[in-house]
Amino acid sequence: MKALVKSRPAPGAEILTVPDPTPAPDEVIIKVRRVAVCGTDLHIYGWDRWSQGRIKPPLIFGHEFVGEVVALGVRAEGVKLGDVVACETHVACGVCHLCRRGLMHVCERVQILGVDRSGAYAEFVAVPARNCWPIPDGMSLEVASALEPLGNAVHTVLAGEIAGCSALVTGCGPIGLFSIAVARACGAGPIVASDVNPYRLELAKKIGADVVIDAKKEDVAARTREATDGRGADVVLEMSGHPSAIRQGLQAIRNAGRMSLLGLPSDPFELDVTGLIIFKGVTVQGINGRLMFQTWRQMNELLTSGRLDIRPALTHVMAIEDYAQAMEQLKNGSAGKIVLIPWGEKAGTGKLEAAAGRA
Amino acid sequence: MKALVKSRPAPGAEILTVPDPTPAPDEVIIKVRRVAVCGTDLHIYGWDRWSQGRIKPPLIFGHEFVGEVVALGVRAEGVKLGDVVACETHVACGVCHLCRRGLMHVCERVQILGVDRSGAYAEFVAVPARNCWPIPDGMSLEVASALEPLGNAVHTVLAGEIAGCSALVTGCGPIGLFSIAVARACGAGPIVASDVNPYRLELAKKIGADVVIDAKKEDVAARTREATDGRGADVVLEMSGHPSAIRQGLQAIRNAGRMSLLGLPSDPFELDVTGLIIFKGVTVQGINGRLMFQTWRQMNELLTSGRLDIRPALTHVMAIEDYAQAMEQLKNGSAGKIVLIPWGEKAGTGKLEAAAGRA
Amino acid sequence: MKALVKSRPAPGAEILTVPDPTPAPDEVIIKVRRVAVCGTDLHIYGWDRWSQGRIKPPLIFGHEFVGEVVALGVRAEGVKLGDVVACETHVACGVCHLCRRGLMHVCERVQILGVDRSGAYAEFVAVPARNCWPIPDGMSLEVASALEPLGNAVHTVLAGEIAGCSALVTGCGPIGLFSIAVARACGAGPIVASDVNPYRLELAKKIGADVVIDAKKEDVAARTREATDGRGADVVLEMSGHPSAIRQGLQAIRNAGRMSLLGLPSDPFELDVTGLIIFKGVTVQGINGRLMFQTWRQMNELLTSGRLDIRPALTHVMAIEDYAQAMEQLKNGSAGKIVLIPWGEKAGTGKLEAAAGRA
Amino acid sequence: MKALVKSRPAPGAEILTVPDPTPAPDEVIIKVRRVAVCGTDLHIYGWDRWSQGRIKPPLIFGHEFVGEVVALGVRAEGVKLGDVVACETHVACGVCHLCRRGLMHVCERVQILGVDRSGAYAEFVAVPARNCWPIPDGMSLEVASALEPLGNAVHTVLAGEIAGCSALVTGCGPIGLFSIAVARACGAGPIVASDVNPYRLELAKKIGADVVIDAKKEDVAARTREATDGRGADVVLEMSGHPSAIRQGLQAIRNAGRMSLLGLPSDPFELDVTGLIIFKGVTVQGINGRLMFQTWRQMNELLTSGRLDIRPALTHVMAIEDYAQAMEQLKNGSAGKIVLIPWGEKAGTGKLEAAAGRA
C-alpha cells in the first residue's frame, strides 16, 4: 500500500510503498477515507526536539482519521465489517493501575497511533477494535476525521462547570476553534477568544466567540474583565501553549475559577504561582487525550443533536499528495483544520462546504 | 396600595386596599412592574390541602416578579434606588447550620414571599436587599418576572452533567418548558419531552424539544429508548409531580443516570425502588428553590449571552384585574407562563411577542 | 472436583462431584481457598421469588472468595500463576455503551459469578483475568474472601462526601457493619447505627458505631437528631432494604443530605417523595456493585494502610460441609460474615481471631 | 487594653496600651483567651517584602485565637454573651459577585483580621458575629485557638478525593502536620511526608505519617513511588511553598492525580508545565482560607467525634510577653504550633500535654 512515511531522522517525509498491515487478534484493519493534520504531525514533519526524542523512523505518521473496517482480528469485538469508524488514538494497555482505575487516557504504557506505532497517513491502518468509534449516520467524512482533536476540545471544555459560565479561550488554532464551538454549544457565555493571528480571530468569531482579542495589541485580562462586567472569566481554556497566554489567562480568571490547559508549552517557564493561582484559589487542570469513552459519547450527542457544528473550523480539504502544502499552511497559520484525502478516494475538490454539507 | 389578597380560608381571592409596606433595616421596597403566576399561587387560590396547612389569611400572595427599588432600609446593601430587580423568594435566616454550610436554599427557617410573608400581587413589596437580583440591561420585564421559576429550571438542569447527554423532560408546564430550553442551551441532546396535554407538547416542540411524547397514548420509556438508539435517557428532569411520570422516567433512564425531581407529587405513592433505582444505580435528586446565588448567576449569563430564550413559554400577558381568568387558564392547561401587569402600569396589550421582543 | 450445587429448583443445595472448569482464552482458573456466604446465597438456597426468576439450576453458587491462580487462558493478562486473588464478581461485557462510558458496574449484559455463571462454592472456579485483584501481602485469607462485599460498603460510603459528616447506617448485617467501619476510617462522625437485632447492634458498637439504636424500641430519626445536636444526619447509608428503615433514614437526614441505598427492598412500597426527598433537597443514590476498579484500589489502600479493620464483622469460620448451619445462622441473624473453608484446605479451627490475626 | 502592636514599618513589634474596641452593629467583642502564632505573623514581625506592601502600621496583629463573647452589637445574630468562640479570620463583604456565588473565602474585598484590620494579639478584639464559630464542649482552649489554621488543612485535604488515596505532604510546619493528621483521619494511606528539618519529620511521624523523607538527603519522588508500589501519590498536599517541593510533588504524583497548594512560594519560579502537569493530566488547586462555613463544620465533626487529634502538633504554650521567643522558635523550625496566653489569663505552665488533655 501507499503511505506517507517519516523515513529518516530529519525534517520532511516521503510517500513510499509499504506492506499492508495485518490485524492482531483484537485488532481491525481500516481503509482510511479521510485523515486530518494535527499539530503533532507538524512537529514530526519538522523534526523538532520532541520528535527527535520520541519518534523512531521509519514511521507512518498521522492519527486523526476516519475509515471503513475491512478486516477483523479473530477476537475483535464491538465493530463489524463495513462500519465507518473514527478512532481513539491512545492505545491503552488495559492492565496498569491507571487503566484499572478508569483512567485509560493517562495509561502509563500508552501507545499513540502515528507516534509510537503505525498511523493513518496510509491506505490502511491496524487499530484495536475497542479503539473504534462507529460514526453516526449522516456525519460527513470531513467532520468524522476531526473527531479525535474535537475530543480534546470536548474533554477540555467539559472538565468542569461550563454552562452559564463566562469563558476565555486563549489560542485559536483548530482545537481552540473547536473549543469555542463546544463551549458555546454547552451554554458558556460570554465567550472571549484571544490569539495573535487575525485570520484565526476571524475564524473564532465565525465559529461563535462573542468577543475576540488580538493579544499582540490588546490587554487580554483587561478586555476579558470588560466583557464580563468586571468579574473576570469563570473558565479559561488554554489552547496555545504560550507562557504569556497562560499568564494572561490567570490574570483574566476570577477567583476560584477553572483553567484547563491543553496547549503544550515547549519549555519550562516562570510563573507567579502565589499571586495567580494560590491567592486566587484557582484550579488548574492538565488535560490529556479524551476520556475513554465518555468524551466520545458526549461529542457524539453534541454533533448528532445539532447542538454543535464545527465546520467553520474545517477550512481546507486536499489530496494527501499535497501534504507539503498542508504542513506549510498549518505552520504559517493560514488554515484551520486541514483534512487530507488519501489514495483510492476520488480526489477532493477543495470545496469543503459542499463536502461537509453532508453533516 | 392595591393588592390581590387571599383574604379568607376559602377558595378565591380579592383585590383590596391595604397599607403600604415599610422596609426593615436590611430590606428594600420594590414597586412591582410585572408579576407572573406560579402553580403555587393556583394552589393558594384554589385553597387545596397544602394551602390550608401552610397559609395564614389574610395574605398578599404572588412571588414571581420584577420591579423597581423605590426605598431602602438603613442597612440595605448591594442595591440602590432605581435598580430594576428580580427577587429570590426564599428568605433564608442566614444563621442556621444549613445557611452556614452554604445551603441557604434549604434553610431550616426559610420564609417564602407570598407564602409565609407578604408577596408581590401588589403595588409594592418589601424584600431583604440581599434577595434582589438587578436585571441586566435590555431584558424585557416579562422575561425578568419569570426569573424565579426559570431559576428552578436552571437549578434542576444544572444539578449534574447535562452537556452531551440525552434528556427526558416529563411534564411541560411552564417550568418543564423552561427546562427544555435550558437543557438545549446547555448542550443536552436529544431532548425528549412528555405530557398529556397537546397544547403543552406543541409549546415543548416550539421551545426546543427534539421529540415529544403524548404520555396518554404512547409508551414514554419505549419512545425514549427509540430516540436514544436504545440506550435510554442519560438524564430525566421530572416536572409534573405525577407518580406515573416518575415511574416512566425511571424506566426510561439508563443505568447510572440522573433523575432530578422538581414536580411535587400531591400524595405518597408506591415505587419499585429495587428495580428502578438500586439495580440501575440511578441517582435521584430532590430539587428545591435555587442555589443562592449561583443559579442566578448562571441564569443571568445564559440569558444575556443569548444562549437561552424562554419567550416561547411566556404565552400570555394580562392585567392583574384579570387574575381569575389567569388562574382558570393555568388550571385547564391552556397557557404556558402568564405574566400580570399590576396597577399603575399601562395596561398590557396581550401581545406578548411585541412586549417580550425587548429582550 | 467437589462443589456445592443448587441442583434443583427447590429450597436447599447439595455437594456433588462435577467436572473441573477449563479457562476460556481471557480467563484463569482459581483454586478456592476461602469463600464467604452472601445474603444472595441465602436467597438462592432458600429459593425465594427472585431466585426462581433468575437462577437456572444446576448452578454452583457462591461468589465471595479468595484463591490461588492455578491455570491461565492463552490471552489472560495482568495476573500470573501462583497469585492469590480476590475477584470482582460482575463480569462486564466490555462493549456495551455503559461499559464504554466507564460504567462497567452497571453493564447492561453483566453476568454475575454464582448467579449467572458457575460460582465459587467449589474447589476451582473460572473467572476472566481482568476480574482478579491480587491481594496484598499479609492480608488474611478470611479478610480477602470478604473483599467483594466490603467493596459494596466502600462504594456506598465513598459515593459522596463522608469526611467530617455525621452518618446514619440503617441495617447492621455484614455489609452494614463493614459500612460503619469504612465510614469511621474515612472520617465520618458521629456514626449512628440502627437495627432490630441486639446481637448485630453489639457488633455495630464493636466495629465503630458511636451510637446504636434499636429500631424496634426507639425513634430512629429523633435519636439521630439528638446525636447530631439537632441537625440530622449528613449522610444515610441504607443497608437493610426495609421500607421503614428507608423512611426513617429520610426523616433523620438533614436537608440537602445524601442517602445511599444498597439494601434491596423485596417489594415496591409507598414513599412520601414530596415531603422526604423534594422539599428536603435530598439526593438518593442507588448503589450496585463496585466501581471497576476504583473501589478495589480504595479498599486496598484502606486495608493495607491499617486505617480499616473489618475483623470484628467476620464472626465465623467453618468448613464448607457445614453450609446448612451457615445458612441457618445468617438467616436467624446470629452471625456477622461467615467464611467457609472449602475442600483441600486444612479444616478451619473456628478460631477466627487467630486466623484473621494474620491481617 | 494591652496589645502586641506592629507599631512601625520596621522589624519587630511592641506591647502597648491601646483603646478598647467597640462593636459595629453586626459585630461582637471577644475577650481573647488563647492566640496562636501564624507564619503570617512571623512575616509581619520580620517585616518582609509582602508585609511592607500590605500592612499599614500601627496594627494589632495575630488572628488565630479563641475567646469569650463579652459584648454584642445591636444586630449581631447567631452568638450570645458568654459563648466561647473561634473565628473565621476572612471578613467577607457579602455582596460582591464571589460572595453571592457562595465563594466568600475568595471575596474580592476580603479584610483579614490582624492583617487588614485589628487582630487578636490583644485583650479584646471586635469581629463580625457571623465570623464566630462557637466551640464544642470539652475542646481545650489550645486546640480551639488552632482551628483557623487547622481549617486551612481541612480545606486542603478535603478539596478532592482523599479516602483510600495515597498522599504525599510536602512541608511539615504546623499546617503540614495538621494535614497529615486530617488526611489520616479521613482514610488516606499510605501517607508520606517530606521536609528538610529532622525535628519536624519527627513530629510528622508522631502525628501519623507512615513514611517520612528528608528532602535534603533523599529523592522525594523515588521514595514516594517506593512507598506506593511504584504507582506514585494519588494526592499531593503542598505545605512548604518551596519551588523544589512543588516540583518534587509533581514528579511524585501519579497521572491524573490532585495536587493542592497551600504553601506560598515567595517568588515566581520556573516550572515544566508540559511534562509535570499537562502530559500527566494533573489537577493543581490553589487553596485559600476555609470554605465558609463548610470547612468549619467538617473540622468540628472530625474533632468532636474523636477521629482527629492535633495535639502532637501543638508543641508550645507560652505567655504572650514571650512573643519574641515564639517568633524565634518558629523561624528556626524548633516548634510546631505555638499557642500564646494573653494578659488576664493565668500564666501558662508550658505543660501543654496537661492543658490540651482537656480536649
ipTM: 0.96
A142, containing H or E segment: helix A141-145
- Cα gap D103→D92, rounded to integer Å: 9
What are residue A94's DSSP bridge partners? Answer: none
Q: What is the mean pLDDT of residues D6-31?
A: 98
Q: Which residue from D122, D100, D168 is spatially nearest to D30, judged by alpha carbons? A: D122
CB D214 within 8 A of CB D195: yes
Q: Which of A318-327, A336-345, B53-62, B202-211 has the lowest mean pLDDT?
A: A336-345
pLDDT of residue C344: 80
Tell me the average pLDDT across D314-332.
97
- B and D: number of Cβ contacts within 8 A: 40
Active site residue D43: yes
CA dist B297 and A83 (Å) reads: 45
- Edge to edge, what strands does the sheet with A14-17 contain? A14-17, A2-6, A59-60
User: Residue B52's CB: how many other CB atoms inside 10 A?
Assistant: 12
Flag if B189 and A302 touch (Cβ within 8 Å): yes
Out of B95, B291, B297, closest to residue D78 by CB: B95
- Give catalytic residues of B, as residue numbers: 40, 43
* Amino acid identity for residue A93 in this structure: C
CB-based contact B273 C246, cutoff 8 Å? yes
Average the pLDDT over C326-340 and give the result: 97
Residues paired with B271 in a beta bridge: C269
Is the pLDDT at A352 greater than 90? The verdict is no
CB-side exposure of D52: number of CA atoms within 13 Å?
6
Please tell me which residue in A40, A89, A295, A315 is annotated as part of the active site: A40
C-alpha to C-alpha distance for A258 and A233, rounded to whole angstroms: 9
Q: How far apart are the first and last CA of chain C?
A: 30
Dihedral over Cα of D185, B160, B129, B29: its sign: negative
Q: Which residues of A touch C97 (CB under 8 A)?
A: 297
- For residue D63, what is its C-alpha cell? 488572628
D205-252 tens-digit pLDDT: 999 999 999 999 999 999 999 999 999 999 999 999 999 999 999 999
CB atoms within 10 A of CB B269: 17
Q: Closest Cα to residue D128, out of D222, D258, D23? A: D23
Q: What is the mean pLDDT of residues B125-142?
A: 97
The rounded percent of chain D whose pLDDT value lies above 70 is 96
For the CA atoms of B181, B184, B189, B191, what is the dihedral angle to 10 degrees? 0
CB-CB neighbors (< 8 A) of D134 in chain B? none
CA B132 to chain centre: 16
Nearest to D164 among C164, C190, C302 (CB): C302
Partner residue facing A284 (CB), from D264, D284, D287: D284
Which 3 state secondary structure label does DSSP give A311?
Answer: helix
For residue C202, the one-letter residue type is: E
Q: What is the mean pLDDT of residues D2-10?
A: 98
Statement: residue C87 has pLDDT above 60: yes
Residue D354 has pLDDT above 60, yes or no: no
Quickly list DSSP for D199-265: HHHHHHHHHT-SEEEETTTS-HHHHHHHHTTTS-EEEEEE-S--HHHHHHHHHHEEEEEEEEE-S--
Which residue of A lies nearest to C74 if distances are taken between CA atoms?
A25
- CA pair distance B151, B173, nearest whole angstrom: 15
| Contact yes or no for D64/D36 (Cβ under 8 A) | yes
For residue B346, the model assigns a pLDDT of: 61
Q: How much of chain C exceeds pLDDT 90, in percent?
A: 96
pLDDT tens readout for residues B186-210 = 999 999 999 999 999 999 999 999 9
Asked whether residue A351 carries a pLDDT value surpassing 50, the answer given is no
In this predicted structure, what is the pLDDT of residue C65?
98
Contact A100 C293 (CB under 8 A): yes
Quote the Cα angle for D55-D59-D60, to 5°. Answer: 130
Distance CA(C295)–CA(C246), nearest Å, equals 24
Q: Three-class SS of residue A37?
A: coil
The rounded percent of chain A whose pLDDT value lies above 90 is: 96
Grid cell listed for D33: 483567651
Residue A347 has pLDDT above 70, yes or no: no
Kindly report the average pLDDT of chain A as a whole number. Answer: 95
Which residues does chain A have within 8 Å of residue C75's beta carbon, measured at their own beta carbons? 25, 75
What pLDDT band is residue B345 in, cutting at 50, 70 and 90? confident
Q: Chains with 3 or more CB pairs closer than 8 angstroms to D?
A: A, B, C
Q: How far apart are CA A291 and CA A294, in angstroms?
A: 5
pLDDT category of residue A358 using cuts at 50, 70 and 90: very low
Q: How many whole angstroms separate alpha carbon A214 and alpha carbon A293?
A: 36
pLDDT at C351 over 80: no
| pLDDT score at A94 | 95
CA dihedral D139, D145, D146, D148 (to 10 degrees): 110
Catalytic residues of C: 40, 43
Contact A293 C100 (CB under 8 A): yes
Question: Per-residue confidence at A346, pLDDT binned at 50, 70, 90?
Answer: low
Percent of chain A's residues with pLDDT above 70: 96
3-state DSSP call for residue A92? coil
State the Cα–Cα distance between residues B25 and B10, nearest whole angstrom: 35
Whether A130 and C95 lie within 8 Å, measured CB to CB: yes
**pLDDT-derived band of residue C184, with 50, 70 and 90 as boundaries?**
very high
Q: What whole-number distance in Å separates Cα of residue A272 and Cα of residue D271?
A: 10
Give the model's confidence band at D148: pLDDT under 50 very low, under 70 low, under 90 confident, else very high.
very high
Would you place residue A345 in the very low, low, confident or very high pLDDT band (cuts 50, 70, 90)?
confident
Interface touch D185/C184, C-beta < 8 Å: no
Q: How confident is the model at residue B349 (pLDDT cuts 50, 70, 90)?
A: very low
At C346, the pLDDT band (50, 70, 90 cuts) reads low
Asked if residue A158 lies in contact with residue B164, where contact means CB atoms within 8 angstroms, the answer is yes
pLDDT band at C353 (very low <50, low <70, confident <90, very high): very low
> Shortest CB distance from B281 goes to which of C256, C277, C288?
C288
Provide the residue count of chain C.
Answer: 359
Of D23, D253, D263, D35, the closest CA to residue D156 belongs to D263
**Angle CA D11–D15–D18, to nearest 5:** 120
What angle (nearest 5°) sits at the alpha carbon of residue A24, between those of residues A20 and A28?
70
Chain A residues with CB inside 8 Å of D108's CB? 255
Backbone φ and ψ for A167, nearest 5 degrees, come out as -135, 140
Give the per-residue pLDDT at B340. 98
- Supply A160's cell numbers: 468542569
Contacts of B267 (CB under 8 A, 6+ apart): none
Backbone angles phi, psi at D129, to 5 degrees: -55, -40
Task: Give the type of residue at B202.
Answer: E
- At A354 the pLDDT is 39
User: Is beta strand B283-286 parallel, antiparallel or unpaired with respect to C283-286?
Assistant: antiparallel
Q: Which single residue is written with the C-alpha cell 488519501?
A: A342
User: Residue A77's closest chain C neighbor by CA?
Assistant: C95
Other chains touching A, judged by 3 or more CB pairs under 8 Å: B, C, D
For residue D41, the tally of other CB atoms under 10 A from its CB is: 29
Query: A131-185, pLDDT tens digit by residue?
Result: 999 999 999 999 999 999 999 999 999 999 999 999 999 999 999 999 999 999 9
Q: How far apart are CA A266 and CA C315, in angstroms?
A: 60
Q: Over range C80-96, report the average pLDDT.
A: 97
> What is the per-residue pLDDT for D104?
98
Helices (H), chain B: 39-46, 49-54, 97-100, 141-145, 147-157, 174-185, 198-207, 220-227, 243-252, 273, 294-304, 323-331, 352-356
Looking at residue C162, its pLDDT comes to: 98
The pLDDT value recorded for residue A275 is 97
Question: DSSP letters along D236-247, please?
Answer: EEE-S--HHHHH
What pLDDT, on the 0 to 100 scale, is given for residue B344? 81
All cell numbers assigned to B60: 398578599
Burial of A354 (0-12, 13-18, 19+ CB in 10 A): exposed
Nearest to C38 by CA among C201, C154, C147, C157: C147
CA atoms of B118 and B115, how far apart (whole Å) = 7
Residue D14 has pLDDT above 80, yes or no: yes
Q: How far are the Cα atoms of B234, D157, D183, D204, D257 from residue D224, in angstroms, in the given order?
A: 40, 18, 16, 15, 14
A304 or C358: which leads in pLDDT: A304
D131 interaction partners in chain B (CB closer than 8 Å): none
Coil, helix or strand for B187?
coil
Q: How far apart are the CA of C231 and the nearest CA of chain A, in angstroms?
A: 29
Round the average pLDDT of chain D to a whole number and report it.
95
| CA torsion angle D131 D133 D134 D140 (round to 10) | -130
Task: Closest CB to A256: pick one of D98, D241, D279.
Answer: D98
Name the closest residue on chain B to residue A160, using Cα atoms. B161
CA dihedral A219, A220, A223, A226 (to 10 degrees): -120
Strand-pair partners of B317: B339
pLDDT band at D346 (very low <50, low <70, confident <90, very high): low
Interchain CB distance below 8 Å, C268 and B273:
yes
Mean per-residue pLDDT for C84-102? 97
Reported as a single tens digit per residue, the pLDDT across A246-297 is: 999 999 999 999 999 999 999 999 999 999 999 999 999 999 999 999 999 9
Task: Write the pLDDT tens digit of every residue in B273-325.
Answer: 999 999 999 999 999 999 999 999 999 999 999 999 999 999 999 999 999 99
Which pLDDT does position C177 carry in this prediction?
Answer: 98
Contact between A95 and C131 (Cβ < 8 Å): no
**Which residue in B has a C-alpha nearest to residue C246's C-alpha?**
B273
pLDDT digit string, tens, across residues B248-279: 999 999 999 999 999 999 999 999 999 999 99
pTM of the model: 0.97
Cα A252 to Cα D236: distance, rounded to the nearest angstrom: 27
Q: Which of C190, C298, C300 sits opposite D163 (nearest CB)?
A: C298
* Distance, CA of C298 to CA of C159 (rounded, Å): 12
Q: Is the pLDDT of residue D168 over 50?
A: yes
* B163–A302 CB contact, under 8 Å: yes
Mean pLDDT, chain B, whole residue set: 95
Q: Quick one: which of D256, B169, C100, B236 has its CA closest to A300? A: C100
Q: Is the pLDDT of residue D294 over 80?
A: yes
Condensed to tens digits (0 to 9), the pLDDT of residues A26-83 reads 999 999 999 999 999 999 999 999 999 999 999 999 999 999 999 999 999 999 999 9
B70 CB neighbour count, 10 Å cutoff = 14
Contact C97 A297 (CB under 8 A): yes
State how beta strands D314-319 and D337-341 pair: parallel
Whether residue D8 is predicted with pLDDT greater than 80 in this model: the reply is yes
